[in-house]
Amino acid sequence: MLAPLSTQGLWWIGSNYAWEFDNPDPTPAFKEKTEALLKEWLKVPYKIVDHVAGIRPATLERRPFVGLHPIHPNIGILNGMGTKGCSLAPYFAKQLVEQLLYNKPVLPEADISRFTKILMRG
């Protein structure tokens, strides 16, 4: 994937789905593979200005978590939407609002209360 990164003509390329790695640093192997792809794809001059890596955070169960924090009930949590965030966020935001305004329960599969034990640790 090649995507614009800024209005100054910078672009971002690449990602992988490596689940096991020794550290979060960028690897020479990924850089070489990506440079080879760029040479195939692009017919215009370009310059690589940086090589960085990041880890996408995720929950173990890959489900959203929505609701009020068990220790700090004035903190609402609406997170874990993942790659489907554009479609899931409005749905679960409405559930959070309905919980706040009308004390309606959040869908059990997304309810933050399933993490109460973890969140209660201090």
Residues 66-93 have pLDDT tens digits of 999 988 889 999 998 887 888 999 999 9
Task: Tell whether 76 and 114 lie within a shared domain.
Answer: yes
Domain for residue 27, yes or no?
yes
Domain for residue 113, yes or no?
yes
Taking the complete model, does pTM exceed 0.85, yes or no? no
Nearest to 80 by CA among 56, 64, 61, 60: 64
| Inter-residue contact 79 to 103 (CB < 8 Å) | no
Under DSSP, the state recorded for 11 is E
Give the whole-angstrom CA distance, residue 28 versus residue 31. Answer: 5
Q: What is the pLDDT of residue 64?
A: 92
Number of domains in the chain: 2
Which residues constitute the domain of residue 15? 2-41
Radius of gyration of the CA atoms of the chain, in A:
20
Domain for residue 48, yes or no?
no
Task: Tell whether 82 and 116 lie within a shared domain.
Answer: yes
